Amino acid sequence: MLTVTNNSGGGQPVSMRNVREVSAVCRRHGIPLYFDACRFAENAWFIKLREQGYAEKSPKEIAQQMFNLGMAAPCPRKKTAWRISAAFSAPTTTCSRSRRKTC
């Protein structure tokens, strides 16, 4: 589980470079990568502002690129603007059902 924009760590974003490196390690060892995506939009905005090569990309494009590096993104709604105590899990698009063991 990779937490994007770790609030307990001072709200620091996770760079796209770090996401790619974590994804590569997980794939190498056959471990699925999940994102704690409560603050994925904030993380995408920080990447846009701070990481070289992302200034011209939209936060949506950045988030899609990030999620394509993992398997799913469970997101507790109680931590978002919805303020509902529930959750959802969004499978990413890169891992088809037949390939999930290797993603």
Q: 3-class secondary structure for the chain?
A: CEECCEHHHCCECCCHHHHHHHHHHHHHCCCCCEEECCCHHHHHHHHHHHCCCCCCCCHHHHHHHHHCCCCEEEEEHHHCCCCCCCEEEEECCCCCCCCCCCC
Q: Is the pTM of this model over 0.85?
A: no
Residue extents of the structural domains in the chain = 2-91
| C-alpha angle 80-85-91 in degrees, rounded to nearest 5 | 65
Q: Summarize pLDDT for 41-62 with one digit per residue, the tens.
A: 889 999 999 999 999 999 999 9
Spell out the CATH class of 2-91: alpha beta
Q: Report the mean per-residue pLDDT for the chain.
A: 77
Per-residue pLDDT band at 13 (split at 50, 70, 90): confident
Share of the chain above pLDDT 90, in %: 41
